[in-house]
C-alpha cells in the first residue's frame, strides 16, 4: 500500500495481485488465480480484485480509494497450475476493467491503473504492452496511472532510443506515470543499490578505518573456520574420506572470494540459500557419524559442530559486508561521474546527507518532465531525510536540460 503526499491533499493508492495461500482460499484455481509456486499465487480476475479492494478499504478505514493498481500482471504468464497466454491475460484484464469501471461509477475508487516490471521491455517474454492494455479497456478515461521501474540503469520507461516509450504513450493518453526502484537498479543482470554512505565515520579517514576493520574481521573469520576444519580432519579416520572431503568450506569460499565480492546481493543469496544449507547437511552427516561412536569423543564432536556452525555463519556475514564495500566503491565512482556530467549536481551540498548519490539520482528522475511520481523506500529516517533533500533541491536548484541530456547520453548507464 502506498501513500502519496500531494501538497495539502492526500492521495491514497493501493495495489493487488500478489497473493498468499490464505488469500486464495475459497477461489477457483482454474479460473480465478494462477499458482506461481507452493507459497505464491497471482490474480487479475475481478472476483479476487473485488475481495482485495474490500480488504484494503477495511484496513484503511475508508470508503474510497483514489487509485487502485493491478500489480505485476506479467506474473500470470508464470502459471504452474494451468496454461496461460498473453491473449488470455489481456482478455482477463478487460473483464476486470469493466468491474473497476463500475467501482469508479459508484465512487469506491477514483480511477485505476497497472504496475508492471516488464511494460517498458518489448523483448521480454513476459512483456505487458501498455497499448494492448489500453485496447482492452472499454472506458480508458478511468485508466489513470501506470507504474514501472526507472533509474539511471533501467531507463527504458522514459528515455527514448528512437522508439515510443511507455512515458510517451502515457502522455498521449493523459495517464499519470509513477516510477519505482529509483535506488535499486538492475545493472548487468545484478541488483545494485545506488547508495554511497560513509562507513564508520562521516569523513574519508573514518571510512577507510572502518573498511580496514571489516577486512581484518573477515580475515580472522577465515582463519577461524580453516582452523576448525583442520582440527576436524585430524580427528577423523583416514578411511572416512566422504566426511573429510566435506569440511573444506573455508577453502572453497576463499578461492571464490573475488567473485563473491563483485555483488553483495548475489553473495548474500548464494551464501544464505546454497552454502549455509549445504553446510547444515554436512553437519547432519557428521552428527550421525558421531552418534555411532562409543567413547567420549561424542561430546567433543558436539562442541566442534556448534562452534563451526556459528563460525561459518559469521564468515558468511563478513563476506557479504566485504562485498558491500565494493558496491560502495563503485557508487562513489558513479557519484564522481555524475558530478563531472552535471554542473548542477556537482554543486550539491552533501553535508548531513546519508547518501549524496541517492539524492542526485532522485533529483535526476524527478527532473524528467514526463514522470509524475517517484516512489522510494522510507523505512528509515535517514532515507526520508535524503528524499526530502532531493525534493527540495528539485524545487530550489532544478537540473537544466543540458544536465539531464548529458547524463542520459552517457554510455556507462546503458
Q: Do residues 23 and 137 both lie within one domain?
A: yes
Phi then psi for residue 8, to 5 deg, are -100, -5
Q: Per-residue DSSP letters for 180-226?
A: E-SSEEEETTEEEE---PPSSSSSHHHHHHHHHHHHHHHHHHHHHHH
- What's the confidence (pLDDT) of residue 5? 44
Residue 158 in domain: no
**Full domain range(s) for residue 222:** 204-328
Residue 353 in domain: no
Neighbours of 256 (CB within 10 A): 14
Q: Do residues 103 and 237 both lie within one domain?
A: no
- What's the confidence (pLDDT) of residue 296? 67
Sheet-wide strand order for 9-16: 2-6, 9-16, 67-71, 112-115, 143-149, 176-180, 373-374
Distance CA(68)–CA(281), nearest Å, equals 46
- What's the confidence (pLDDT) of residue 229? 92
Residue 175 in domain: no
Max intra-chain CA distance, the chain: 80
- What's the confidence (pLDDT) of residue 373? 93
Distance CA(194)–CA(357), nearest Å, equals 7
Read off the pTM: 0.84
Distance CA(96)–CA(94), nearest Å, equals 5
**Is residue 374 classed exposed, middle or buried when 0-12, 13-18 and 19+ CB atoms within 10 A define those classes?**
buried
Contact 392, 370 (CB under 8 A): no
Distance CA(186)–CA(164), nearest Å, equals 22
Whole-number CA gyration radius for the chain: 26
Domain limit, last residue, from 328, 354, 389: 328
C-alpha grid cell, residue 398:
532544478
CATH of the domain at 104: 3.20.20.100
Q: Which of helix, strand or coil describes residue 41? A: strand
Q: Do residues 215 and 322 both lie within one domain?
A: yes
Domain limit, last residue, from 296, 328, 360: 328
Distance CA(393)–CA(304), nearest Å, equals 56
Domain limit, last residue, from 112, 134, 149: 149
- What's the confidence (pLDDT) of residue 110? 97
- What's the confidence (pLDDT) of residue 4? 45
Residue 372 in domain: no
Residue 14 in domain: yes
Q: Do residues 114 and 210 both lie within one domain?
A: no
Q: Do residues 80 and 213 both lie within one domain?
A: no
Q: Do residues 136 and 216 both lie within one domain?
A: no
Let me know the angle formed at the C-alpha of 252 by 290 and 301, rounded to the nearest 5 degrees: 15
Contact 56, 67 (CB under 8 A): no
Q: Do residues 7 and 114 both lie within one domain?
A: yes
- Give, for all 414 residues of the chain, the pLDDT tens digit: 344 444 457 889 999 999 999 999 999 988 999 999 999 999 999 999 999 999 999 999 999 999 999 999 999 999 999 999 999 999 999 999 999 999 999 999 999 999 999 999 999 999 999 999 999 999 999 999 999 999 999 999 998 777 899 999 999 999 999 999 999 999 888 889 999 988 754 445 445 667 888 899 999 999 999 999 998 888 777 556 677 788 899 999 999 999 998 888 899 999 999 999 999 999 999 888 888 876 666 777 888 999 999 999 999 999 999 999 989 999 999 999 999 999 999 999 888 899 999 999 999 999 999 999 999 988 899 999 999 999 999 999 999 999 999 999 888 776
Which DSSP state fits 24? T
Q: Which of helix, strand or coil describes residue 151? A: coil
List the one residue out of 110, 121, 128 whose CA is nearest residue 72: 128
List the one residue out of 151, 147, 156, 148 whose CA is nearest residue 185: 151
Q: Do residues 144 and 215 both lie within one domain?
A: no
Cα–Cα distance list, 4 to 18, 165, 373, 382, 396 (Å): 21, 24, 8, 19, 21
List the one residue out of 233, 277, 272 whose CA is nearest residue 251: 233
Q: Do residues 291 and 225 both lie within one domain?
A: yes
Residue 142 in domain: yes
Q: Do residues 12 and 132 both lie within one domain?
A: yes
Residue 145 in domain: yes
Q: Do residues 211 and 131 both lie within one domain?
A: no
List the one residue out of 159, 185, 189 whose CA is nearest residue 407: 159
Our count of domains for the chain comes to 2
Let me know the angle formed at the C-alpha of 84 by 83 and 87, rounded to the nearest 5 degrees: 140
Residue 65 in domain: yes
**Is residue 289 classed exposed, middle or buried when 0-12, 13-18 and 19+ CB atoms within 10 A define those classes?**
middle
Q: Do residues 19 and 138 both lie within one domain?
A: yes
Amino acid at each position: 500500500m502506498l501513500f502519496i503526499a500531494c501538497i495539502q491533499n492526500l492521495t491514497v493508492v493501493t495495489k493487488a495481485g500478489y497473493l498468499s495461500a490464505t488469500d486464495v482460499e475459497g477461489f477457483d484455481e482454474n479460473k480465478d488465480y494462477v499458482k506461481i509456486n507452493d507459497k505464491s499465487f497471482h490474480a487479475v480476475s475481478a472476483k479476487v480484485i473485488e475481495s482485495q479492494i474490500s480488504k484494503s478499504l477495511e484496513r484503511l478505514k475508508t470508503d474510497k480509494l483514489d487509485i487502485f493498481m493491478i500489480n505485476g500482471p506479467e506474473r500470470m504468464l508464470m502459471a504452474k497450475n494451468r496454461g496461460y497466454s498473453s491473449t488470455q491475460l489481456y482478455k482477463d484484464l478487460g473483464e476486470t476493467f469493466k468491474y473497476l469501471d463500475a467501482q469508479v461509477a459508484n465512487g469506491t475508487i477514483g480511477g485505476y491503473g497497472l504496475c508492471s516490471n516488464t511494460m517498458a521491455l518489448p523483448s521480454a517474454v513476459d512483456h505487458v504492452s501498455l497499448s494492448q492494455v489500453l485496447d482492452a479497456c472499454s472506458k480508458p478515461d478511468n485508466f489513470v496511472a501506470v507504474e514501472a521501474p526507472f533509474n539511471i540503469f533501467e531507463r527504458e520507461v522514459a528515455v527514448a532510443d528512437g522508439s515510443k516509450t511507455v512515458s510517451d504513450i502515457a502522455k498521449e493518453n493523459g495517464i499519470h506515470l509513477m516510477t519505482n526502484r529509483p535506488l535499486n537498479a538492475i545493472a548487468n543482470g545484478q541488483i545494485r543499490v545506488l547508495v554511497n554512505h560513509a562507513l564508520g565515520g562521516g569523513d574519508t579517514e573514518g571510512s577507510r578505518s572502518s573498511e580496514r576493520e571489516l577486512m581484518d574481521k573477515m580475515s580472522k573469520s577465515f582463519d577461524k573456520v580453516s582452523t576448525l576444519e583442520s582440527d576436524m580432519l585430524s580427528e577423523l579416520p583416514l578411511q572416512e574420506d566422504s566426511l573429510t572431503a566435506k569440511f573444506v568450506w573455508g577453502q572453497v569460499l576463499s578461492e571464490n572470494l573475488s567473485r563473491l565480492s563483485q555483488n553483495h546481493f548475489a553473495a548474500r543469496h548464494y551464501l544464505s540459500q546454497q552454502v549455509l544449507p549445504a553446510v547444515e547437511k554436512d553437519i547432519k552427516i557428521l552428527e550421525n557419524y558421531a552418534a555411532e561412536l562409543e567413547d567420549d569423543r561424542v561430546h567433543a564432536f558436539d562442541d566442534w559442530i556448534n562452534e563451526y556452525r556459528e563460525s561459518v555463519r559469521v564468515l558468511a556475514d563478513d563476506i557479504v559486508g566485504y562485498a558491500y564495500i565494493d558496491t560502495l566503491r563503485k557508487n562513489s565512482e558513479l557519484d564522481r561521474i555524475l558530478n563531472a556530467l552535471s554542473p548542477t549536481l556537482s554543486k550539491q551540498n552533501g553535508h548531513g546527507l546519508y547518501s549524496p548519490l541517492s539524492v542526485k539520482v532522485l533529483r535526476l528522475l524527478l527532473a524528467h518532465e514526463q514522470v509524475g511520481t517517484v516512489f522510494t523506500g522510507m523505512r528509515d529516517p535517514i532515507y526520508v531525510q535524503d528524499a526530502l533533500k532531493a525534493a527540495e533541491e528539485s524545487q530550489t536548484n532544478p537540473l537544466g536540460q543540458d544536465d539531464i541530456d548529458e547524463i542520459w547520453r552517457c554510455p556507462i548507464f546503458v
